[in-house]
Each structure stands twice: as structure tokens, then as C-alpha cells.
Amino acid sequence: MDISEVAKMSGLPVSTIRYYDEQGLIKSTGRSGLRRQFNNSVVERLAMISLGSSVGFSLLEMKHMLTEQGAEINRELLMAKADELDNQIKKLVTMRNGLRHAAICAAPSHLECPKFLRILKVVSKRRTVGHSKY
């Protein structure tokens, strides 16, 4: 199938598909005129790349796991990524709770609210010790 069909089926822009091909994450089977051609299995591979990207895997990490022979999943890397996600979830839950509390807090100023100050301290500690990318 040609690159435009792959784009329709995968939901990815043609430019992204070209980039992934150039980076070796997927492989075209040739050209028909100027259009790159791909096997039908490329759509599944692109779905795996999208999933990996959405959970924070780099393209290089995915390239090592998605070989020409198929997926060679590094279970240790998956566990490490799951741990990273757990940490992000904890941080997001703390931030969500802080926002909700700030929205209903009766203190005249958020800086006078003990709970808000504790949340602020927790979030700023995480930033200073390198637990956050933000």
C-alpha cells in the first residue's frame, strides 16, 4: 500500500511516516513512482510506535525493541518505564488535589493555607531533587 493509505489507516501525517522510515523504525518496500510503498503490517508497527511514544519511550528505545524480525521487548525497560509512570501519576494526583483544594479553600490567601503550603513544598522538593522533567 502506498504512503497515503498508510497515513489514512494509521492516523499519522505522511511527514511522520517518512521520518519513521528515514529513522529505520519502519521500512518501505519500494516506490511506485514517487510514492513509498509499505506492507500491510506497517500499520500495526506504527500503532506500537504511537503507544510507545505516548508512554515516553524515545524513538531510539523503540528502534531497539522493534527489529525487522518483530518486537523484541526489553522487559526491564518496560518495568522502568512503568515505574516512571507511577511517579508521574503520584505527582499529577498531588497537583490535582492541590488545585481542587485551592479552588475551595476558605483561607484569605493560598499562602495562608497550611494544606496548600504542604503541597507546594512537596512539589518544589521533587523539582529540586531531579524527580521532574517540568
For 43-105, the DSSP string reads: HHHHHHHHHHHHTT--HHHHHHHEETTEE---HHHHHHHHHHHHHHHHHHHHHHHHHHHHHH-
Q: Tell me what the pLDDT averaged over the chain comes to.
A: 86
Is residue 10 pLDDT above 90, yes or no?
yes
62-71 confidence digits (pLDDT tens): 998 887 777 7
30 grid coordinates: 519500494
**3-71: what CATH class?**
mainly alpha
Sign of CA dihedral 11, 15, 20, 21: positive
Is residue 111 pLDDT above 90, yes or no?
no
- The domain segmentation of the chain, as residue ranges, is 3-71, 75-128
pLDDT higher for 27 or 125? Answer: 27
42-97 confidence digits (pLDDT tens): 999 999 999 999 999 999 999 988 877 777 888 999 999 999 999 999 988 988 88
What whole-number distance in Å separates Cα of residue 56 and Cα of residue 106?
38
Q: Structure pTM?
A: 0.69
pLDDT of residue 102: 82
pLDDT of residue 128: 57
Task: Put residue 72 in one of left, alpha, beta given phi > 0 → left and psi -120 to 50 → alpha.
Answer: beta
pLDDT of residue 132: 44
Q: How confident is the model at residue 120 (pLDDT cuts 50, 70, 90)?
A: confident
Contacts of residue 34, Cβ cutoff 8 Å, sequence gap at least 6: none
pLDDT of residue 67: 78
